[in-house]
Structure 1
Amino acid sequence: MDKIEYRAVIKFLTKEGVAPKDIDDRLRAVYGERAPSYATLKLWAKQFKWGRESLEDDPRSGRPIEATAPDMVEKIEHLVHENPRMSKKVLAAMFDVSERSIFRILHEKLLMRKVCSRWIPRTLNKSQKEERVAAAHEFLELLEWNEGDTFERIVTGDETRIYYYDPEPKSQTMEWHKRGEPASKMPRKQIATNK
């Protein structure tokens, strides 16, 4: 039975002059455990006794449930795609909703999670990548030509300097990604004075 129907019964019996305790006994006899609590019954009986006519809940102040409306979800998704590092706190302030609502939208509606960027030592431009591919092909040709002692004649070296660095805090590298998407790659950029 719907709560409006219970309220209708309470209203009718209150208008007949039946005491709240007797109304409770009658509701429990008919509906058993599904009947409203005695405290709820007393509250509604008192309001109907004072002249209330409406069976509906009074409008409440506070945030409406539209925080997770489709247009809100769409706006948040657009903003997160523009800036994946945006925090829940910033989004909540922008839309004037709770952080919990933002969390619910991101996790349940958009199926997103916050992931740390994956560190890579450096990024290569197109010409550097092409040089590496050419060197690999050259080495394969050398290996085909003289397979026997090629590995014995290789001298390796690297001209890369290794610097001390100031790492970004983990929280600064976190980004929103859809579930299943890989984390973005981020090269170390902040170089300190020491080598």
Structure 2
Amino acid sequence: MAEERIETIIKEIQYWKKSHLLPKEYCDFLLALYTQGDEDPDSLEMEPGIAGKRSAAVLTGSTLFLLPLSFLVIYFTEIDPLLQTGLLSTFAIFTFFYGRFLKKRNNFQFHIPVIVGFLILLLLSVSMFHTFYTNNKIIYLLLLANSLLWVGAGIRLKLYYLIAAGAIGLILTIILTVLEVFT
């Protein structure tokens, strides 16, 4: 039998033993049969338990909570603009590092922090531009730069939704710029 199939069967038997789907003696016998007696029946490779999955879900949920919290910090508080910049930068950095952490662990949830991080970065750049500058026509360059950043990051990370969002942002920014010029 191929090594890969044997490994799959062994993992499945270990799961049965851990979940008590078969009696322990049967699982020990099957493990001894498939490992040819090399594996200690009591040394199971345990998958991350419920606590690990729950903490990942809590961190992902808190990452989702950072986006509305960012809007709250910008539009509904009287915090100093420098403090707003620092706080939103911290939010963006946290989401990107958490997304990187999840991607290294091959967790499918890494997309959520990436999306939230880029949205917070867009929000940060636009709000800080409005805080420090009054010329609204230059905002199109900022939107263009953000869209190009999204496309570049999407190409580098091979995330097609990021490429699509950046391309849509580029098209909409160009359309808005043309409309602004001709009106």
Q: Which structure has the bigger radius of gyration?
A: 1
The TM-score normalised by the length of structure 1 is 0.29
Structure 1 or 2: larger strand share? Answer: 1
Structure 1 or 2: larger helix share? Answer: 2
Bigger relative contact order (CA 8 A; separation at least 6) = 1
